């Protein structure tokens, strides 16, 4: 069992675990935000035919050689081709087709011209300068070529990905099932929202915060209820949750106090402990264990610390569980706006936000960085890292920050 591991090692110990991923077929309309479990190959090119980008005339460029304002090239109009209409008359020299945006270019044409640049009647069109073959044509496959891989397995379906799927006429796709993650709140002091608050009690906020971040990570959180600081009850509840969840998260009791049961309960249940306590603040008081191939992640009870533990250590594993191709969260380098706090003997994660000023990315830390503080998670879109062993972080210092997921 590893103790006091660096944050990156904690991440690696989790990522080393094999995960079981199930798939399901989901309809196009419901696919946004799901993770593809299959590569999607283009069955058709998009567009699938050469088409006109303008309302105008389609013709053969060679027929316009030598055209000038004094000596325009004159064409007879063969037919009108609106969008959705397949041309019927192949063009011969001296002929042009009236064509509208999105309509197929007829056979025998290699260019189009906007109607504003011509003079026309119902039967004739005049062109006043030579045209270049191949100009003003959107060729088949401009967007997607038949046979190419449009989207790869492990891609999160975004607005753009939906457009690519729909452009193929695909009605459904195979995606990974959202992992079910049960969040159990341990602590004898906890009351659930809606209950009257007895002396010495506090409301359970963790399950709501943690679950919302889990939802933002594309998982399906389950409210696992409150359990008192009693090892048998905690073990029983974790065991039951593991039956119908892909992962279990607990908050509270992950440290070394007399009533901190997370680690001892995991051991008692026969789980393999991956590590206990990670070397960062806040949130390093955590424990990770595996039972029957499923991860039990025990986070601090302190709301701020629990979220940081979840995002810094749990998120890559959770992204793996979801089937993401890229499991590491996005990072960005930011310039510290205001000097921050005390020296950091340990790696310190700071809640704050991105501010762009004069085209530069600054990190502004939020007020209230204490373990138990929830309010500094408001508007927190970045967790910046102050490396271990550094002094007070100074204005202008460049920090690496994790992007915080949110819906
Ligand atoms: P613990 O990690 O159990 O030592 O708890 C640390 C602090 O977090 C204590 O002040 C607890 O009362 C508080 N706490 C524990 N669980 C929760 C929870 N679910 N919601 C809000 N605060 C909590
Ligand atoms: Mg406690």
Count Cβ atoms within 10 A of the Cβ of residue 210 and give its class: 0-12 exposed, 13-18 middle, 19 or more buried: buried
**pTM of the shown model:** 0.94
Q: Is the CB of 193 under 6 A from ligand 1?
A: no
**CA of 185, closest atom in ligand 1:** 19
User: How is residue 197 written in tokens?
Assistant: 């608050």
Cβ neighbors of 147 (< 8 A, separation 6 or more) are 41, 42
68 and 39: one domain? no
Which ligand approaches the C-alpha of residue 192 most closely? 1
**CA of 253, closest atom in ligand 1:** 3
pLDDT computed for residue 123 by the predictor: 97
Residue 151 has pLDDT above 80, yes or no: yes
pLDDT computed for residue 342 by the predictor: 76
Q: Is the CB of 255 under 6 A from ligand 1?
A: yes
Which ligand approaches the C-alpha of residue 306 most closely? 1
Question: To test the ligand 1 pocket, which listed residue (301, 308, 372) has its Cβ within 8 A of the most ligand atoms?
Answer: 301
342 and 313: one domain? no
pLDDT computed for residue 241 by the predictor: 98
Q: How confident is the model at residue 391 (pLDDT cuts 50, 70, 90)?
A: confident
- 303 C-alpha to ligand 1 centroid (Å): 7
183 and 116: one domain? no
221 and 283: one domain? yes
What length is written for the chain? Answer: 407
| Contact of 395 with 336, CB cutoff 8 Å | yes
Q: Is the CB of 284 under 6 A from ligand 1?
A: no
Which ligand approaches the C-alpha of residue 373 most closely? 1
Question: To test the ligand 1 pocket, which listed residue (211, 252, 263, 265) has its Cβ within 8 A of the most ligand atoms?
Answer: 252
pLDDT computed for residue 113 by the predictor: 98
For ligand 1, atom 15, which residue shows the shortest CA distance? 301
For ligand 1, atom 5, which residue shows the shortest CA distance? 301
Task: From 383, 137, 361, 359, select the one nearest 283 (Cα to Cα).
Answer: 383
| Contact of 45 with 140, CB cutoff 8 Å | yes
pLDDT computed for residue 89 by the predictor: 94
Give the structural domain span for 171: 24-45+152-176
Q: Examine residue 143 and state whether it is found in any structural domain, yes or no.
A: no
Task: From 233, 192, 194, 405, select the one nearest 316 (Cα to Cα).
Answer: 405
Q: Examine residue 262 and state whether it is found in any structural domain, yes or no.
A: yes
Q: Examine residue 133 and state whether it is found in any structural domain, yes or no.
A: no
Q: Is the CB of 303 under 6 A from ligand 1?
A: yes
| Contact of 21 with 35, CB cutoff 8 Å | no
For ligand 1, atom 17, which residue shows the shortest CA distance? 301
Q: Is the CB of 96 under 6 A from ligand 1?
A: no
User: How is residue 75 written in tokens?
Assistant: 């064409």
DSSP state of 288: E
Domain boundary, last residue among 160, 176, 192: 176
pLDDT computed for residue 343 by the predictor: 81
pLDDT computed for residue 404 by the predictor: 98
Q: Examine residue 378 and state whether it is found in any structural domain, yes or no.
A: yes
Q: Pick the range with the lowest mean pLDDT from 130-144, 198-212, 245-259, 331-345.
A: 331-345
Tens digit of each residue's pLDDT (9 = 90 or more) over 275-328? 999 999 999 999 999 999 999 999 999 999 999 999 999 999 999 999 999 999
Average pLDDT value for residue range 168-175: 98
Domain of 28: which CATH number?
3.90.105.10
251 and 266: one domain? yes
250 and 316: one domain? yes
121 and 172: one domain? no
Domain of 257: which CATH number?
3.40.980.10
Per-residue CA distances from 126 to 29, 66, 75 (Å): 47, 13, 6
Q: How confident is the model at residue 340 (pLDDT cuts 50, 70, 90)?
A: confident
Q: Is the CB of 187 under 6 A from ligand 1?
A: yes
Task: From 206, 197, 156, select the one nearest 319 (Cα to Cα).
Answer: 156
Average pLDDT value for residue range 365-376: 96
Q: How confident is the model at residue 348 (pLDDT cuts 50, 70, 90)?
A: very high
267 and 391: one domain? no
106 and 190: one domain? no
For ligand 1, atom 23, which residue shows the shortest CA distance? 301
Give me the percent of the chain exceeding a pLDDT of 70: 100
| Contact of 165 with 173, CB cutoff 8 Å | yes
271 and 218: one domain? yes
Q: Examine residue 65 and state whether it is found in any structural domain, yes or no.
A: yes
DSSP state of 344: B
Residue 31 has pLDDT above 80, yes or no: yes
Q: How confident is the model at residue 1 (pLDDT cuts 50, 70, 90)?
A: confident
Per-residue CA distances from 278 to 8, 229, 250, 285, 345 (Å): 9, 22, 16, 7, 14
Q: How many domains does the chain have?
A: 4
Sequence-distant contacts of 267-273: CB under 8 A, at least 24 apart: 268/231, 268/235, 269/235, 269/238, 269/239, 271/296, 273/1
Question: To test the ligand 1 pocket, which listed residue (197, 221, 302, 375) has its Cβ within 8 A of the most ligand atoms?
Answer: 302
Tens digit of each residue's pLDDT (9 = 90 or more) over 66-119? 999 999 999 999 999 999 999 999 999 999 999 999 999 999 999 999 999 999
For ligand 1, atom 11, which residue shows the shortest CA distance? 301
Q: How confident is the model at residue 407 (pLDDT cuts 50, 70, 90)?
A: confident
- 254 C-alpha to ligand 2 centroid (Å): 8
Tens digit of each residue's pLDDT (9 = 90 or more) over 218-265? 999 999 999 999 999 999 999 999 999 999 999 999 999 999 999 999
Cβ neighbors of 309 (< 8 A, separation 6 or more) are 278, 283, 284, 285, 286, 299, 300
Tens digit of each residue's pLDDT (9 = 90 or more) over 326-335? 999 999 999 9
């Amino acid at each position: 069992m590893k103790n006091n591991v660096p944050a990156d090692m904690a991440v690696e110990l989790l990522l080393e675990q094999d995960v079981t991923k199930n798939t399901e077929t989901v309809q196009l309309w419901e696919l946004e935000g799901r993770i593809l479990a299959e590569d999607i190959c283009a069955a058709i090119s998009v567009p699938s035919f050469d088409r006109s980008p303008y309302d105008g005339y389609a013709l053969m460029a060679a027929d316009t050689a030598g055209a000038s304002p004094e000596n325009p090239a004159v064409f007879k109009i063969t037919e009108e081709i609106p969008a959705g209409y397949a041309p019927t008359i192949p063009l011969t020299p001296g002929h042009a087709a009236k064509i509208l945006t999105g309509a197929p270019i007829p056979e025998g044409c290699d260019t189009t011209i906007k109607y504003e640049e011509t003079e026309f009647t119902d039967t004739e069109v005049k062109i006043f300068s030579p045209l270049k073959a191949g100009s003003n044509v959107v060729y088949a496959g401009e967007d997607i070529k038949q046979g190419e891989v449009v989207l790869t397995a492990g891609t999160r379906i975004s607005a753009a990905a939906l457009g690519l799927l729909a452009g193929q006429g695909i009605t459904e796709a195979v995606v990974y099932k959202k992992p079910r993650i049960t969040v159990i709140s341990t602590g004898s002091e906890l009351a659930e929202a809606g209950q009257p608050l007895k002396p010495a009690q506090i409301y359970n906020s963790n399950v709501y915060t943690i679950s919302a971040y889990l939802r933002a990570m594309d998982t399906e959180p389950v409210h696992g209820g409150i359990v008192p600081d009693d090892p048998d009850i905690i073990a029983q509840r974790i065991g039951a949750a593991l039956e119908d969840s892909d992962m279990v998260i607990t908050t509270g009791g992950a440290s070394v106090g007399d009533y901190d049961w997370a680690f001892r309960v995991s051991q008692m249940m026969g789980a393999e402990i991956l590590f206990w306590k990670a070397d960062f603040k806040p949130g390093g008081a955590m424990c990770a264990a595996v039972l029957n191939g499923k991860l039990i992640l025990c986070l601090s009870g302190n709301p701020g610390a629990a979220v940081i533990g979840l995002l810094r250590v749990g998120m890559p594993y959770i992204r793996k569980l979801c089937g993401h191709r890229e499991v590491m969260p996005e990072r960005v380098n930011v310039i510290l706006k205001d000097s921050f706090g005390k020296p950091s003997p340990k790696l310190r994660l700071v809640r704050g936000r991105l501010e762009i000023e004069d085209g530069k990315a600054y990190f502004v830390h939020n007020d209230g960085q204490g373990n138990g503080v929830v309010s500094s998670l408001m508007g927190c879109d970045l967790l910046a890292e102050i490396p271990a062993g550094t002094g007070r972080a100074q204005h202008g210092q460049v920090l690496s920050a994790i992007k915080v997921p949110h819906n």
